[in-house]
Structure 1
Amino acid sequence: MALPSPRKDSRALVTGASQGIGMAMARDLARLGHNLILVARREDVLRRFADELETTHGVTVDVRPCDLADPEARRTLIDDINDTDISIIINSAGIASFGAFMDQDWEYETNQFQLNAAAVFELTRAVLPGMLARRSGAICNVGSAAGNMPIPNNATYVFTKAGVNAFTEALHYELRGTGVTCTLLAPGPVRDAVIEEEDKSIVDKVVPDFLWTTYESCSRETLQAMSGNRRRVVPGPLGKAMDRISSVMPTAISAPVMGSFYKKMG
């Protein structure tokens, strides 16, 4: 089953489109001829990106600045797209925190839950009625290989991503035979192909270069998986290793090992 074909009156909606996986997937969808709705907080970045895509690929790009961690802002966005033909949605926006749960800033943790989980939940629900009525559509929710296992010092993130993982895979089976596909993207570490030393985060410094996958390769692999109506795609060597470990290693062993690694990042 292929992705929905580009149409003049349809849009592919991408959240987290101002950077990372979201930006890479928006660029690839534009290359395929899809008109887009780009969603992120930074309007200036989105508008520059929209101009690039329209100039390079001749598509129509709508910009919707929105803080998806804010329930009121999400409701406004959902109202705005209510009558739009959304043929593809990529729920990519997300944040993470590292360190002991009780040491984290509570406002940041609650925003993380709203962005990583509630926004995916609500936006998926918002676009499904139209997709089902047209018997055509593709959903990709970005979970994480980290959502397959309990990881101390990453508790809120794995809480949200475990929910996204299970929710998306459940919908994959529910939607069989409807013409609508649902694919989970569950990556490990993903980043730009080249990062200057002074720009490296603690995660960049802790994880060896050969274990990373790039945003561009992640996007390509994900779109191939969506075209084949695959339930789950896990790009990158470390992501695949984490996926395998979570299925075979006892939690009593994996949790302390992973927890000590994530404590360093905190």
Structure 2
Amino acid sequence: MVRSVQGESPPHGNPDDHSADLRLGIRLTLAVVAVAIFTVPFVVLLVLVKTSSSPLRSFDEGIALQLHAQALEHPGYTAFLNVATEVFGPWTWRGLVLLTAAWLWYRGAPRLAVWAVATITFGGLLNLAVKGIVDRARPDLPDPVASAPGASFPSGHAMGAALGACILVLILLPFLRTPASRIAAWIVAAVIVVFVAYSRVALGVHWTSDVVAGVALGVVVVVGTAVGFEAWRRGEGRKPVEPPMEGIEPEAFR
């Protein structure tokens, strides 16, 4: 039996360890909340679409008809949307992520490169799987101004924009030195994603619920893989970070 020396206080651990554990718990809680925030609307919309909810159908049709009338009244603007929606289409984001991954590999950050490619690939495959399961018809409007193949729910363009924009911002963050610049990067990404989602509804190739579900599912995929990557970092004994403000693997660029 080991006897304690008289007057010697028993070890209670390093206070810094307790502080680190507390911060880790807060980060994990916030990550779970973030996933829930975007998972809940997707699941709700999925259920409403599968059950052919009358309120959702009326809501979608009302917005679709209103935006379609505007598209017919402004052919120049509609032509711009047709070009812009493809410029920010899924293949653009896939190409940007692949090029960024190649650069990351060259810079000596192979794990980050694999995370980026795996995230956007998994997201794309998940989109196709959900489309096949739900098999929702696209809007059938008079005098259509655009067309798109395949099922409607969730929007591949909206999900691709959410995936690509989030992935690229998370990689870019370590190069941005001030909180203001990092917040600005997220704002720019959000504006692009919202514009892509809007363009798909305005062109009459998706319902509003399609694009909302696409954005939500894209964010869920990124948050989920980011949490997994951060858990691996901690398992390797690396300093915990806050990915939304510091990036996925900031030490790779130091």
Higher relative contact order (CA 8 A, sep 6+): 2
> With structure 1 as the length reference, what TM-score do the two structures score?
0.28
Higher strand share goes to which structure?
1
Bigger Rg, which one: 2
Give the number of the structure whose residues are more often helix, by fraction.
2
